Amino acid sequence: MVLGIPSIGIAKSLLVGRVEPGEEGVRRITYNSEVVGFASGNAAVRYWSPGYSVSLEELEVLMPEHGPTCLRLMRESHRLAKEEVNARRDSRRLG
């Protein structure tokens, strides 16, 4: 937000609301009868929410177009973070 870059949220667990039943693929997340995001996937569900400067309508369009790339980048960032944590842990043991 400080940089003025639009953003979205992707999570592995649902923070608020409930996933509405629907067709496979993308389902709506509602909270207090209002749509607040979307859920995608079946075995590994991901929860999507609009962030800075991104509307629900834009997010719904963005998910099919760029969702696989977003998910791949999320997995890669988690992998790199885990490597960094392990490297720091190992250096403390040796140091």
Residue 24, in any domain of the structure:
yes
| Tally of helices (H runs) and strands (E runs) in the chain | 1, 5
Residue 1, in any domain of the structure:
no
The size of the chain, in residues, is 95
% of the chain exceeding 70 in pLDDT: 98
Question: How does pLDDT run across 35-72, given as a tens digit for each residue?
Answer: 999 999 888 899 999 999 999 999 999 998 999 999 99
Residue 28, in any domain of the structure:
yes
Residue 3, in any domain of the structure:
no
Instruction: Give the domain range for residue 87.
Output: 8-94
Structural domain count of the chain: 1
CA 95, 79, 17, 25: dihedral to nearest 10 degrees?
-170
Residue 36, in any domain of the structure:
yes
